[in-house]
Structure 1
Amino acid sequence: MKTLLKGLLYLVVLLAAVFVVGGFLLPSSSHVERSITIDRPPAEVHAMLDSYKRFNEWSPWFEIEPTAKYAYSGPESGVGAAMSWEGAKVGKGSQRITESVPQQKVVNALDFDGTQATGIFGLQVQGAGTRVTWTLESEHGNNLVSRWFGLLLDSMVGKDYEKGLAKLKLVLESEPG
């Protein structure tokens, strides 16, 4: 019995050492990025992304829990426009536009129940349309749990970003040009 307990203790110590040492070897930030080309000029795409008025028309998370509670504050569009949400499936969080450059980009400060990140919509003219690149940047610092979690971020968020961009394209391209 003593040998078994001693072996378990060594295993726990080894796992803790792997967690700590491995965590400090992991990147201190994460980056998720997806892109799509939308057959609309940058001004139209920017107008959609620069406000939360129509966010749920293309949000990949709205259909997960349409009954979640949403609240809006600040100006209707541009820097300071904000949206918060709370639901059983989508959790609790908020986002606020911190930078808006017409026809070029919209930057959002994200808060997922205390965890901060930055969302960026980059816009580039591509032919007669606009190339939209949706990026998520997350800084982990010395938070070891966050660093380990960062390894999964692309697989967790990437598909949602692809779905959201496809819906954004559908919404914008279905409107009269």
Structure 2
Amino acid sequence: MKILKNMAIIIVIIIAVPLIGALFTAKDVSVVREITIDRPHHEVYDYTKYLKNQDSYSKWALMDPDMQKEYRGTDGEVGFVASWKSENPDVGAGEQEILSIQEGERIDYALRFFEPFESNDKAFMEFESINENQTLVRWGYDGHMAYPMNAMLWVMDMEAMVGDDFQTGLENLKNILEKN
């Protein structure tokens, strides 16, 4: 009987510690990466504003060339939606929508993931002219993990996971644009 009581106490502690810890853990995650592209601002922006072009440089789009893709609306305009569905669990299913555009400066996106988990987050791209032939591009993500799922942030380095993928995408974008 004493063994069962001790096991029950241990199980309660194992369950309670992460739940209590999650109360004091951040729920919001922000990640930003940037790169300088040796092309004029208007060329970089004019290419990047089209969401379909992410298929050529985004790490996630390149992970499964056989994923199903659907598009709604007019690309490069507010309200355009690009959706995907992949058998690759690292890609999953979801959609990205252009929420707002500050012409030549910033594009805001809604990211809605359906599989392998559900999530509604935000992303953006910013563009800054450094000089006549160089453009700084920032790609950022703002996510939220509700309690108690935010306890996963103890073991998941979102800054590295998402940031490294953004950096790969930005390097791909740089390679594409600097070839032309």
TM over 0.5: yes
Partner of 1:161: 166
Shift of 1:97: 0.4
User: Greater CA deviation, 73-82 or 151-160?
Assistant: 151-160
- Distance in 2 between the 1:61 and 1:41 partners? 26
Q: Provide structure 2 residue ranges, at least 5 long, that are not aligned to the other structure.
A: none
Partner of 1:115: 119
Q: Residues 99 and 149 from structure 1, CA distance in 2 versus in 1: closer, same or farther, beyond 3 angstroms?
A: farther
Partner of 1:49: 48
User: Greater CA deviation, 104-113 or 7-16?
Assistant: 7-16
After superposition, the CA RMSD in angstroms is 1.5
**CA distances 1:109-153 after superposition (whole Å, capped 9, x unpaired):** 00011301101111112233111111110123x4211x1234522
**Aligned partner of 1:133: which letter?**
R
**Aligned partner of 2:51: which letter?**
Y
User: Greater CA deviation, 151-160 or 71-80?
Assistant: 151-160
- Distance in 2 between the 1:3 and 1:46 partners? 69
Partner of 1:34: 33
Does the Cα contact within 8 Å between 2:52 and 2:82 map onto a contact in 1? no
Partner of 1:130: 135
Shift of 1:8: 2.2
- Distance in 1 between the 2:153 and 2:41 partners? 31
Shift of 1:42: 2.3
Q: TM-score scaled by structure 1?
A: 0.90
* Corresponding residue pairs, total: 172
- Distance in 2 between the 1:8 and 1:154 partners? 37
Moved over 6 A (4+): none
Q: Residues 171 and 18 from structure 1, CA distance in 2 versus in 1: closer, same or farther, beyond 3 angstroms?
A: same
- Distance in 2 between the 1:155 and 1:10 partners? 36
- Distance in 2 between the 1:160 and 1:12 partners? 37
Does the Cα contact within 8 Å between 1:46 and 1:105 map onto a contact in 2? no
Does the Cα contact within 8 Å between 1:68 and 1:86 map onto a contact in 2? yes
Partner of 1:149: 152
